[in-house]
Amino acid sequence: MNSASPFSSLEGLGLGLRSQHYQDILSGQNHPQWFEALTDNYMGDGGLPLQYLSQIAERFPITFHGIGLSLGSLDPLNQDYLKKLKALVDRFQPALVSDHLCWTSASGLHGHDLFPMPYTELAAKHIAERIEQVQEYLGRQILIENVSSYLEFKDSYLSEVDFLCEVLERADCLLLCDINNIYVSAQNHQFDAKDYLARLSADRVKELHLAGFEDQGTH
């Protein structure tokens, strides 16, 4: 699949693409209207995952959602990761490409988690500049997703939603709004989730994530 995808826009309900669903998707009748593929699962050279993704992308619109850009890190952007991401984007022409408003690595070490940013003007400028670099390299706007958080930096003086809106404007990027993450962070940090949602510009929101959570009490 080397040409542009026939699916340039999204409507309705999508579902996260998982390997255990490949056969059902290709053989069944009842499906959501599109699928979200985890980019990091398809960066290898060849193999069955890419073969299945090619078949599915010929039948359904797809989006790409990643966890490896580490947009908020102080490390340089991972050029090898970017090259692999661009190759996938150019090949499959997904309707949307997204990653997270967070950092996942520091000093070359990966934490295997989505760590929140300090909510400051300096941090907003830093991550916005990196988002702009990614968008220029890919030749398209990307979406950033708000993450859930369990701690905050002492240096933060902006609210999470103020920080998010600042980044969206500075980078001129789009938003993947995770409803569950807003609720979880609101519970952890005692802010009003409805007020948070009311602050968001509808023009920036191009995708919503809905998921579940489990109350772990004080743990």
pLDDT at 90: 97
Would residue 82 count as lying in a domain? yes
Q: Are 131 and 71 in contact (CB under 8 A)?
A: yes
Q: How far is residue 139's CA from residue 173's CA, in Å, rounded to a whole number?
A: 12
Minimal CA–CA distance to 71: which of 61, 63, 81, 62? 81
Buried b (16+ CB within 10 A) or exposed e, 66-101: bbbbbbbbeeeebeebbebbeebbebbbbbbbbbbb
pLDDT at 143: 98
The answer on pLDDT for 19 being more than 80 is yes
The answer on pLDDT for 144 being more than 90 is yes
Would residue 28 count as lying in a domain? no
Using a 10 angstrom Cβ sphere, with 0-12 exposed, 13-18 middle and 19 or more buried, the burial of residue 194 is exposed
Q: Which of 18-32, 99-113, 137-151 has the lowest mean pLDDT?
A: 99-113
Would residue 137 count as lying in a domain? yes
pLDDT at 115: 78
pLDDT at 103: 76
For the four alpha carbons of 59, 3, 98 and 48, in that order, the dihedral sign comes to positive
pLDDT in tens, 159-208: 999 999 999 999 999 999 999 999 999 998 999 999 999 999 999 999 99
The total domain count for the chain is 1
Residue spans of alpha helices (H) in 14-151: 22-27, 48-59, 79-92, 121-138
Would residue 7 count as lying in a domain? no
The answer on pLDDT for 15 being more than 70 is yes
Share of the chain above pLDDT 70, in %: 92
Minimal CA–CA distance to 69: which of 57, 53, 56, 86? 86
pLDDT at 216: 72
pLDDT in tens, 54-76: 999 999 999 999 999 999 999 99
Structural domain boundaries, residue 44: 33-209
Residue 149 pLDDT grade (very low, low, confident, very high; cuts 50, 70, 90): confident
Q: How far is residue 170's CA from residue 177's CA, in Å, rounded to a whole number?
A: 18
Would residue 46 count as lying in a domain? yes
Mean pLDDT calculated for residue range 149-153:
87
pLDDT in tens, 120-130: 999 999 999 99
Q: Are 138 and 89 in contact (CB under 8 A)?
A: yes
pLDDT at 218: 66
Would residue 27 count as lying in a domain? no
CATH code at position 151: 3.20.20.150
Would residue 83 count as lying in a domain? yes
Average pLDDT value for the chain: 90
Would residue 21 count as lying in a domain? no
Q: How far is residue 120's CA from residue 123's CA, in Å, rounded to a whole number?
A: 5
Q: How far is residue 118's CA from residue 153's CA, in Å, rounded to a whole number?
A: 5
The whole-angstrom distance between residue 51's C-alpha and the CA centroid of its chain comes to 23
